[in-house]
Structure 1
Amino acid sequence: MEGMTRAELDVAESRDFALGGRPMRPRDAATLIVIERRAGAPFVLMGRRHRRHAFMPGRFVFPGGRTDPTDSRIPVVRPLHPDEEAKLIGSGARASSARARAIALSALRETYEEAGLLIGRKDAFSTKSRHWQGFAEHGIRPSLDGLRYIARAITPPGRVRRFDTRFLAAWRDQVAVELAEGGPTDELEEIVWLPIGEAIEAEVPVITRTVLDDLDKRLATDPELSPGGPVPFYFMRANRFMRVVL
């Protein structure tokens, strides 16, 4: 995607985004890449969005969605690693620990809602938030210390919906409970584990393919995903899609 003009990107993403939206500020969003090694090869969890959806219909994606600022109030077993928190906080007027925590917890919540995976540890947990009742029912307190920040991407202008998405990663052994019936929502179907190479060639959005390629390269040099690693950031500037490393 790096270096593509807005017109080129509009064509590449025409299946995934409704074009022609009014100018709008991107909304915070979070997505989680759950990784498992099989015979030394990394596999990732993906699900196909229903074809009736207006946003990325029929595409394989990672669990994720819009960030809910109230997620920052959810108690956790352990917080984000300091190096990961610092990268998520970043800089700017809206930078804060609470925002970084909300982004990370939103990724966990969405992964439960869409894929039925509860990431955390067995521990007493209760909350008044209706969005976290699944964790309470299964006695799982979320934990953030194993999350790794992989990439960030802002949806280009001219879309009906725009998101400032943080791509986070977690290993499958951080999953405390896997619900056989999947998550309580119908956002994703055909939930599958794919080798990264196959996932890159699957029906995935352009940005997902780009992030998968970044993840594949990072795992080749940093197989354990050390805290504070490089984070590619994709955004549109001066009619060109840019890539910088945070």
Structure 2
Amino acid sequence: MIVVDRTDPRGASVLMGQRGASAAFMPSKYVFPGGAVDAEDADAGLARPLRPDTHARLAAEPRGDGPVAPQTLAAAALRELAEETGLLTGPPGTAPRGWDHYARAGLSPDASALIYLFRAITPPGPPRRFDARFLLLDAAHLHGDRHDFSAACDELSHLHWVPMHEARALDLPFITEVVLAELAALVRDSAGGPLRQPAAVPFFDNRGGAPRFTRIE
């Protein structure tokens, strides 16, 4: 999940944290909050669903081992954001079962403002692979204090809002650098207005023997 804050007069900032030095996957790297889909995410009730165009793009190009429903992907992104940062988005309502952060706040998660920005599948070979969809949320949709990470778990350290013009200087995975460039272009094109869905979603597809770059429209 990518969360961008555009309220600072110095320019947009993006929320990032650092993985632990002993982590099995990408140790010590600065990353966006996120993680794997849990089985329970398929049954998580959302206050509002994804936008139809976002839903359609997430349903395109399914994984080789079977598609994951778009609403499940959205629920996983919002759940991981809550767990890793303590930040929530949504109106008053009933929280999905097990979503303690939302239950304590009396909120129901809202996926309607999520923007599908990027997808990448790592190539065969490495012991840890990922099929990542990068979903974007404007911090204007967050509930409460966006600088309060007191309810975050300890999976990411040094959680903070990084000015986008400084983020590329951090120790980043390569794909995170590419996503930041896409995000910078989207923020620039919004010209201070609402963030718009990109014309197409870049997709680095390494499922087969040869790398493939395409765009999901």
Instruction: Confirm whether residue 143 of structure 1 aligns to residue 110 of structure 2.
Output: yes
Gapped regions of structure 1 (runs ≥ 5) = 1-31
Q: What is the deviation of 1:237?
A: 6.5
Q: Which residue of 2 aligns with 1:52?
A: 22
Q: CA 1:219/1:50 → structure 2, altered by over 3 Å: closer, same or farther?
A: same
Question: Equivalent of 1:87, from 29, 45, 57?
Answer: 57
Instruction: Confirm whether residue 67 of structure 1 aligns to residue 37 of structure 2.
Output: yes
Instruction: Confirm whether residue 175 of structure 1 aligns to residue 145 of structure 2.
Output: no
Q: Does the 8 Å contact 1:83/1:228 carry over to 2?
A: no
Counterparts of residues 87-236 of structure 1 (less than 5 Å)? 87-92=57-62, 94-95=66-67, 99-121=69-91, 123-127=92-96, 129-130=97-98, 132-178=99-145, 180-223=148-191, 224-227=194-197, 229-236=199-206
Q: CA 1:64/1:209 → structure 2, altered by over 3 Å: closer, same or farther?
A: same
Residue identity opposite 2:174 in structure 1:
V
Considering fraction of residues, name the structure with more strand: 1
Gapped regions of structure 2 (runs ≥ 5) = none
Q: In 2, Cα distance between the equivalents of 1:139 and 1:238?
A: 45
TM-score (norm 2): 0.88
Q: In 1, Cα distance between the equivalents of 2:128 and 2:161?
A: 28
Q: Does the 8 Å contact 2:122/2:207 carry over to 1?
A: no
Q: What is the deviation of 1:174?
A: 1.1
* Other structure's SS at 1:140 match: coil
TM-score (norm 1): 0.78
Q: In 2, Cα distance between the equivalents of 1:136 and 1:151?
A: 30
Could you list the structure 1 runs, at least 4 aligned residues long, displaced by more than 6 angstroms after superposition. none
Q: Does the 8 Å contact 2:87/2:149 carry over to 1?
A: no
Q: In 2, Cα distance between the equivalents of 1:50 and 1:95?
A: 31
Judge which range, 133-142 or 84-93, deviates more.
84-93
Q: Does the 8 Å contact 1:65/1:107 carry over to 2?
A: yes
* Other structure's SS at 2:123 match: coil
Residue identity opposite 1:33 in structure 2:
I
Residue identity opposite 2:188 in structure 1:
A
Q: CA 1:221/1:71 → structure 2, altered by over 3 Å: closer, same or farther?
A: same
Judge which range, 196-205 or 164-173, deviates more.
196-205
Judge which range, 176-185 or 46-55, deviates more.
176-185
Q: What is the deviation of 1:181?
A: 4.4
Identity %: 36
